[in-house]
């Protein structure tokens, strides 16, 4: 992993610069806001270091700062856990395609980017205990379309991030025969705003972060799909690292750090569940 790490450490800024047209500027809280104490993001000789890879544009879980570094709720949670458990972290960006495979192939220790825990994934990967739950929803722009229920989206164009669980989940609902595959959720929102899609589909944890950008956004809940838990991904069988993450999650929940991070990155969208077309 060390040679892979050396190669990727030199690439993040170049990689992220090439992605500017596909992603918004960071939605991170202002620097003046207090943030939970973070563990070092570079290796320390007396502590184990774990390589964490994440999507570059999946707020609130992960996004990029002005300097190209990865920031977000998952980064803050892992840094807080690392401080409790006595290890350090190196964060690197990655696109969605092939993201999870990196841990089993030895190119990363942890994947942290709002990863949904599913029975199929549990067969292939080790997961931490869930640290958040979300609902599957479709986000619409009431200036473009007025849809009052999930059923009203039947066979309408719905944007969804390609190569993601969101794509798989949307197709499993059979709600639409017109999925519009996009590289990022942000591009899905652009498609909605331009009228190329009626809605964009993902979990509310992600889509709620965009409500502040446009008061005309609202969501309808995919009621049949149920709730989905989120966890950190590791190589199958890496029970030692899993134990550290699980214990760390318990510790930061117990001392209030978890709630502070949640409040920072995951505000409740105004009327997100009731924000129907009006």
Task: Report the chain's terminal Cα–Cα distance, integer Å.
Answer: 53
Indicate the burial class of 118 (C-beta count within 10 angstroms; 0-12, 13-18, 19 or more). middle
Which residue(s) pair with 134 in the sheet?
228
Per-residue pLDDT of the chain (278 residues; tens, 9 = 90+): 554 444 444 444 434 444 444 555 444 444 334 344 344 444 546 899 999 999 888 889 998 888 988 999 999 999 999 999 999 999 999 887 788 999 999 999 999 999 999 999 999 999 999 999 999 999 999 999 889 899 999 999 999 999 888 999 999 999 998 899 999 999 999 999 999 999 999 999 889 888 877 889 999 999 888 888 999 999 999 999 999 999 999 999 999 999 999 989 876 544 344 445 55
Report the C-alpha gap between 241 and 244 in whole angstroms. 5
Numbered ranges of CATH 3.40.190.10 in the chain: 2-27+41-132+229-265, 135-221
Q: 135-221 is classed in which CATH architecture?
A: 3-Layer(aba) Sandwich (3.40)
Report the C-alpha gap between 56 and 64 in whole angstroms. 6
User: How many C-beta atoms surround the C-beta of residue 24 within 10 A?
Assistant: 18
8 Å CB contact between 28 and 65: yes
pTM beyond cutoff 0.85: no
pLDDT of 39 reads 45
pLDDT of 267 reads 61
Out of 3.40.640.10, 3.40.190.10, 3.30.230.10, 3.40.718.10, select the CATH number for domain 2-27+41-132+229-265.
Answer: 3.40.190.10
pLDDT of 270 reads 41
pLDDT of 271 reads 37
CA nearest to 238, candidates 143, 104, 111, 119? 104
């Amino acid at each position: 992993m060390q040679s892979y790490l050396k190669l990727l450490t030199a690439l993040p800024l170049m990689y992220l610069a090439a992605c500017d047209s596909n992603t918004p500027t960071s939605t991170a809280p202002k620097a003046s806001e207090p943030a939970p104490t973070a563990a070092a993001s570079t290796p320390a000789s007396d502590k184990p270091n774990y390589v964490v890879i994440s999507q570059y544009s999946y707020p609130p879980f992960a996004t990029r700062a002005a300097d190209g570094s990865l920031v977000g709720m998952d980064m803050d949670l892992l840094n807080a856990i690392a401080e409790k458990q006595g290890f350090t972290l190196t964060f690197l960006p990655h696109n969605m395609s092939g993201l999870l495979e990196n841990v089993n192939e030895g190119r990363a220790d942890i994947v942290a980017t709002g990863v949904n825990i599913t029975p199929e994934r549990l067969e292939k990967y080790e997961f931490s205990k869930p640290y958040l739950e979300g609902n599957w929803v479709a986000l619409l722009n009431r200036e473009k379309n007025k849809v009052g229920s999930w059923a009203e989206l039947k066979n309408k164009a719905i944007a969804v991030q390609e190569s993601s669980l969101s794509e798989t989940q949307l197709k499993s609902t059979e709600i639409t025969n017109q999925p519009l595959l996009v590289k990022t959720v942000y591009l899905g929102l652009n498609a909605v705003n331009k009228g190329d899609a009626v809605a964009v589909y993902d979990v509310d944890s992600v889509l709620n972060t965009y409500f502040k950008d446009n008061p005309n956004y609202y969501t309808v809940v995919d009621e049949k799909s149920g709730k989905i838990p989120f966890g950190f991904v590791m190589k199958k069988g890496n029970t030692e690292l899993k134990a550290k993450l699980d214990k760390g999650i318990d510790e930061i929940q117990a001392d209030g750090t978890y709630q502070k991070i949640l409040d920072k990155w995951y505000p409740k969208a105004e009327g997100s569940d009731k924000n129907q077309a009006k």
